[in-house]
Structure 1
C-alpha cells in the first residue's frame, strides 16, 4: 500500500511539472490535458484522476509557484520584539517568491488566460488569496497586542503586498522588466516598511527590544 501511495505521489508530481512546462511553452488555451499526459508519460485518465479539469490543474500550479509563502518560524508574531525586523523577514520571504522566474512566467500565462474569462479570474484570485494569510494573521496579533492601529487586517495586508508588487511583480509580468537586483529589493522592502509602520505602528508606548 505504501509503495502504491508513493507511485501515486510521483505521478501527481510528474503531471504538475509537465503542466508547468506546457503552460509556459504554449499558454493556457493551447495546452491540453492530452499534451500534459504525454509530457508526463502517464495516461490521460491518470491526469483526470488527480485533476478534474485544466482549470483545477492550473490553480494547483499557481498555488505552488505564485503564492508560495511558507509558514516560516519567524512569520508568527513575537511580543516584545521590534515590529520592523519581524516584518522585514516576511517581506524578504515574499520577495523571493515574487522574484521566482517560474512564478513570473506562470503569472503571465494566467494574465493572458483570464483576460477573456472574468469568471475564471475570480476563481483563481480566490484560490490565490487563500494562500496570502500570513500578513493578515501577523497584523491581527500585533493589533491585539496594542502595537498597530485598528484597521481591517486583510486591507492592511493587501496594502503591504501592493507596495512590493508595484515594483517587484507587475512591471516584470506586464512589461517583462528584469527581476530586481538584490540592492533594489532591499530598497523596496525598507521603503515599504517605512510607509507601513509610519502609518500603522502605535509609537506612544515603551519601545520594544530589538530583534
Structure 2
C-alpha cells in the first residue's frame, strides 16, 4: 500500500469517527456535512469525496455496527458438553460485544436515528435479529437432544438475550450509564444462566427415566 493510499484511509476513518461523534452529540437531523468536516479537520470536499451524503455515512456506521455484533462464535450445539458451559461461552462472547464502547456509541446513533426515521435503520434491526437467531439454532439443537424443555426456540433465545441487555446494553445506550465492570459482567452472565437453565433444562434423571 502506498503512502497516499494510507493517508486516504486515515482521512476516511477520521470522517467516520467525526460523524459518529456528531450524530451521537447532536442527532442525525441536526448534524451537517460541514460540522463533520470541521470535526474531522478535513475539507467539506474531502468528506463528499468519501461519502456523497449523510445517508452514506449512516450506512457505513450500520455496517460497522453489524460487523461488531457478528464478531462472535457461531452458536453450535455440542452434544455431551454441559449446557451451562456451552451457554457461558456464548454469553461471554455476547457480553464482550456489549462492553465495547465503540459498539455502544454506534448503537446510540442508530437507535436515535431510528426514533426519528424508523425506516432508516430497519435493515440494521432486522440484521441484528438475524444474528441473534443463531441462539435459536442452539436452543433447537439442545431440545432435539432432549436436554431443554419444549418451548418456541426463538422465544427462549430472546429471553436469554434480554437478561443480558437489561443490565449491559439498554442502561448504557439510553441512560448513558457506565459499562459494567468485568466482575459485574460475570455476575450478570451467571445470573442469566441460573434463571435460564433452572427453568428450561431437563434434569438428567428425568431424561433417563
* TM-score computed with the length of structure 1 as normaliser: 0.77
Q: Which of 51, 65, 69 is the equivalent residue of 1:62?
A: 65
Give the Cα–Cα distance (whole angstroms) in 2 for the partners of residues 185 and 120 of structure 1: 32
Change (3 A) 1:80 1:31: farther
Count residues with an aligned counterpart: 195
Residue aligning to 2:20: 23
Cα distance in structure 1, aligned partners of 2:92 and 2:78: 17
Partner residue, 1:136: 136
* Cα 1:157/1:42, change in 2 over 3 Å: farther
Unaligned stretches of 5+ in structure 2? Answer: none
Look up the SS of the partner of 1:71 in the other structure. coil
The change in CA–CA distance for 1:143 and 1:14 in structure 2 (over 3 A counts) is: farther
Cα displacement (A) at 1:24:
2.1
Higher relative contact order (CA 8 A, sep 6+): 1
Contact 2:16–2:57 (CA<8 Å) still a contact in 1?
no
Task: Identify the residue that residue 162 of structure 2 maps to in structure 1.
Answer: 162
Deviation at 1:62, TM superposition (A): 1.7
C-alpha distance in structure 2 between counterparts of 1:180 and 1:163, whole Å: 14
Q: Could you tell me the TM-score, scaled by structure 2's length? A: 0.77
Structure 1 segments unaligned to the other structure (5+ residues): 207-211
CA RMSD across the alignment: 3.1
Query: Tell me, what secondary structure is at the counterpart of 1:130?
Result: helix
Match of 1:205 among 198, 203, 207: 207
4+ residue runs over 6 A deviation: 10-14
